[in-house]
Amino acid sequence: MSVTLPLDHGHLQKLVTADLVRPDQLLGAHVTTEGGAAGVRFAVWAPNAQHVSVVGDWNGWNGFDHPMQRLEFGYWGAFVVGAQHGQRYKFRVTGADGRTVDKADPYGAFFETRPATSSIIWDQDYTWSDENWMKGRSQGFDQAVSIYECHAPSWRRREDGWFLNYRELAHELGEYLTDLGYTHVELLGVMEHPYDPSWGYQVTGYYAPTSRMGSPEDFKYFVNHLHSLGLGVILDWVPGHFPTDDFALAHFDGSPLYEYADPRKGYHYDWNTYIFDYGRNEVVMFLIGSALKWLQDYHVDGLRVDAVASMLYLDFSRTDWVPNIHGGRENLEAVAFLKRLNEVVHHMAPGCTIVAEESTAFPGVTTPTPFGLGFDYKWAMGWMNDNLHYIGLDPVYRKFDHHKLTFFNVYRTTENYVLAISHDEVVHGKSALVSKFPGDWYAQRAGYRAFLAMMWTTPGKKLLFMGQEFAQGNEWNEAVGLPWHMLDIPEHRGVLNLVRDLNRLYRERPDWHVGDNREDGMLWISADDTESSVYAYVRRDYLSNHWSLVVSNMTPVYRENYTIGVPQGGEYRVILNTDDGQYGGYGTQQTSLTAVEEGWHGQTHHLCLNLAPNSALVLEAVRDVIVSEER
C-alpha cells in the first residue's frame, strides 16, 4: 500500500523548500480514514486558482459537492467520505484566468485508457519476490550491459490488434531476451500519455504506467518477472518537456505553473510542448518524486533521461532566447536540477542507473557531482552519427571518411558511454538499419553483420532497438507489431543468430567489457588502411590480460592473405566470423592461423588472413600473454 504523509504545515513547507523528495506521498489521492470514516484524501498544488473542487464517480461529477480547502503555500486539500479505490476523478480548477477546467491529477497513480483522461483512485498492494535482485543491482561499470530498446505497445500485438497485457509481455519478451542473451530491456512509451504516435514522449502521467497494457500491479509483475530471469528494466523518462493538453499540466491553475512563464524559455516550438520551470522547488520535487516512484515503488533499475541537451541550453532549437545571469546559453536551473536528481537517486535508490541522452559536448555529464552532472552513462551520439554516416557511404568513397570509425577512440574515455542505435534512427524516412547499407540485399546484410560485430567489440555498453536484431527490412511503425514472420526467413534468422552469439561472447569475455572506460581497454593495430577500408584492434581486459583481435573489412572486396600484425606468436583461433554460414554468409575459411615471426603494424608477429567482403573476424591466441601497451 502507498505511504500517506500528514497534510500539515511541516510537510507542505518541505515541499516548498525542496526537502520532500517523495511529494506523491503527500499530494494526489490517498485511500485512508479520518475521524473513523473511510474515504480518500485529495491534495493538489494550484497557488493561483480561484477555486478547486474534486469531482468523480462518487458525486456524479458535481463540482459543488466537494470543494477543496485552500491550505498554506498554494495547496488545496479535501477528504471525501465514501470515495474509494477504482473510482475515476479529476480536479475542477477555476484558474487565475477565470476559466474552469477539469484537470487530471499530476500525481495520479492510474488513468483511464485514452481517449478518456480521468485519473483513477488506486491503492493496491503487490507482493514482490525479487529481494536478492534488489540487493545486488548496480550500474555495471565493469560488467556486460546489453540493452534491448523496446516500444512495449508495438513489440507484439494480440490477434485482435490490441496491446499485450504487461503480464503477457513479461513472459513473451522475457523468454525472447533471455534466449538472445540481453542483460537489460529499456522501455519507451510506458508512462501515461494520450497520443500513441508520440511513443510516450509527451507524458501526462509521470507517476503512472500506461493503462493501455494493464494496471500498476500488472506492470509490477512485469518487472518482478524479468528480475527473476536476470534481466534489468530501464525506462525512458521525460523531464524536459510536457504536452499542451488542457486536461493535464499545462497552465494548471490558469497561469504558467509547471512551465516557465516566458515562452522564450518555456515553450518548444518544434515539439509544441512546454518546458518545466526548474527554478521552482515544487516542480523540481515533482520530477524527482516521479523518478523515485519508478525506482523505489516499481523496482525499476534505471532511467534513461530524454533530451538532456534541450534542458541544458537556453538556445536549444531557437533563435529568440533569454541568456542566463552570466550572459551564457546554459540553463543554470536545469543544470542544478540534474545534479540534484542524480544525487538524490544515487542516495535513495542505490545501484540504479541513470543515463543521459545528451547530444552535445557538455563537459562532465558522467562526472560525479558537484563537479559534473552525476549521470552514470551518456549515450554516445557522436559515435552513432559517425558510424551511420560511414555505413551509408558507397564503399568506393569510404576511404575518404575512414577515420569516422576511429575518431571515437579519441574521446571514448572522457565519459561512460552507451553505444546506442535507437528508435530515432529507424523512423521518419530514415529506413531500417540494414537498409542504410549500400548494395544488394546480400551486401546490405553482410555489411550490417560486420557493423554489429564492431559495435559489440567497441568499448561502451550496447543498445539496439527492437526489430534490428533480426534485420527488420521496413521502418518501425508504432501502430503495428514487429514483422515476426521474418524469422522464418534464413537471411533474417542468421542476423538473429549473430546477435545471440555477440551477446554470449560479450558476457563471457571480460576483454569485451571490463576495460570500457580505460585507454588500454582497446588498442589499435591498424587504423590507417584507408585504401582497403580495413580496421584491426585489440580488446583487452587489464585485470586478467585476456585479449582478442578484431579485424573488419568494410568493402565488398575479398582480400586474400591480408597481413595483420599481432603481439605474439603461436596458434590463433577464430571465435567469431560474421561471414559464417549460420549467420547468412559464405563461410570463408582461413588458410593458416599460425603467426609468423616477422614484425608488422608495430607488432612482433603477423597473421595472413582471408577477409570476406563486408565482414568482421574476431580471433584469440591459443595461449594468452600480456599485450604490449606501447600502442
Report, as residue numbers or ranges, the catalytic residues.
Answer: 306, 357
566, 572 Cβ separation under 8 angstroms: yes
Whether residue 387 contacts residue 404, with contact meaning beta carbons closer than 8 Å, is answered with: yes
CB 167 within 8 A of CB 446: no
Question: How is residue 396 annotated by DSSP?
Answer: G
Give the dihedral sign, CA 387/391/392/398. positive
For residue 403, which of 535, 276, 304, 520 has the smallest C-alpha distance?
Answer: 535
| Secondary structure of 222-289 as H, E, C letters | HHHHHHHCCCEEEEEECCCCEECCCCCCCCCCCCCCCECCCHHHHEECCCCEECECCCCHHHHHHHHH
First to last CA, the chain: 58
Residues 40, 54 contacting (CB under 8 angstroms) = no
Task: Give the H or E element holding residue 376.
Answer: none
Using a CB cutoff of 8 Å and minimum separation of 24, what contacts does 328-334 make? Answer: 331/265, 331/278, 333/277, 333/278, 333/279, 334/278
Please compute, for residue 506, the number of CA atoms within 13 A of its CA located in the half-sphere on the CB side: 28
Can you name the residues that pair with 78 across neighbouring β-strands? Answer: 42
* Nearest to 316, CA basis, from 204, 206, 241, 373: 241
Read off the amino acid at residue 563: T
C-beta atoms surrounding 336 within 10 Å: 13
Specify the 3-state DSSP secondary structure of 403. Answer: helix
b/e burial code for range 470-505 (CB count within 10 A of at least 16 → b):
bbbbeebebeebbeeebeeeebbbbbbbbbebbbeb
CA 162 to chain centre: 25
Using a 10 angstrom Cβ sphere, with 0-12 exposed, 13-18 middle and 19 or more buried, the burial of residue 578 is: buried
| DSSP 8-state class, residue 518 | S
Q: CB–CB of 286/207 below 8 Å?
A: no
Of the candidates 94, 137, 88, the one whose C-alpha atom is nearest the C-alpha of residue 109 is 88
